[in-house]
């Protein structure tokens, strides 16, 4: 694990890719993303189902790799990859997060995948598992 802390991470980062972000406002991914956006973070929607649409006033990308490529043209990097996908999808997401040089992979509450977490740490990413980014932000604010 890279040496950082959740408070430092939330203070120092500005761009959060939300993998699995739903356009449906009643879904937890949408609630968390809207909250974080209201706190000044730039939210990058990543969901192949909604690719090409606008969610929370941001273009939705089919993959993390595609999002990172477009954002790099704007001089923007992805700091946190916030995951709203089942554990069996984490290994592939972690590989993309490492490839795009994200700073952290954050697995939301209920998502525990030790093998993917170990791979992320080996790849230099800070890892958070089984915690809600919104709850942690509120707790530290």
Domains of the chain: 6-140 (3.40.50.720)
SS3 79: coil
CB atoms within 10 A of CB 120: 29
- What average pLDDT does the structure give for the chain? 96
What pLDDT was estimated at residue 141?
A: 86
| Token pair 């790099």: residue | 72
What is the C-alpha separation between 57 and 35, in angstroms, rounded? Answer: 13
Residue 82 has pLDDT above 50, yes or no: yes
Q: Concatenated DSSP letters for 17-61?
A: EEET--S-TTSHHHHHHHHHHHTTPEEEEE-GGGTTSEETTEE-B
Residue 3 has pLDDT above 60, yes or no: no
What pLDDT was estimated at residue 107?
A: 98
């Amino acid at each position: 694990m890279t040496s950082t802390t959740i408070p430092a991470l939330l203070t120092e980062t500005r761009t959060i890719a939300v993998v699995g972000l739903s356009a449906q406002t009643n879904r937890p991914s949408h609630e968390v993303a809207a909250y974080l956006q209201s706190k000044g973070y730039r939210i990058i929607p990543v969901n192949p189902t909604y690719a090409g649409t606008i969610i929370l006033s941001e273009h939705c990308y089919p993959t993390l790799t595609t999002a990172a490529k477009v954002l790099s043209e704007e001089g923007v990097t992805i700091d946190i990859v916030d995951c709203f996908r089942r554990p069996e999808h984490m290994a592939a997401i972690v590989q993309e997060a490492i490839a795009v040089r994200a700073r952290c992979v954050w697995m939301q509450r209920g998502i525990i995948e030790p093998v993917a977490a170990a791979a992320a740490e080996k790849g230099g990413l800070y890892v958070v598992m089984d915690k809600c980014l919104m709850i942690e932000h509120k707790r530290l604010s």
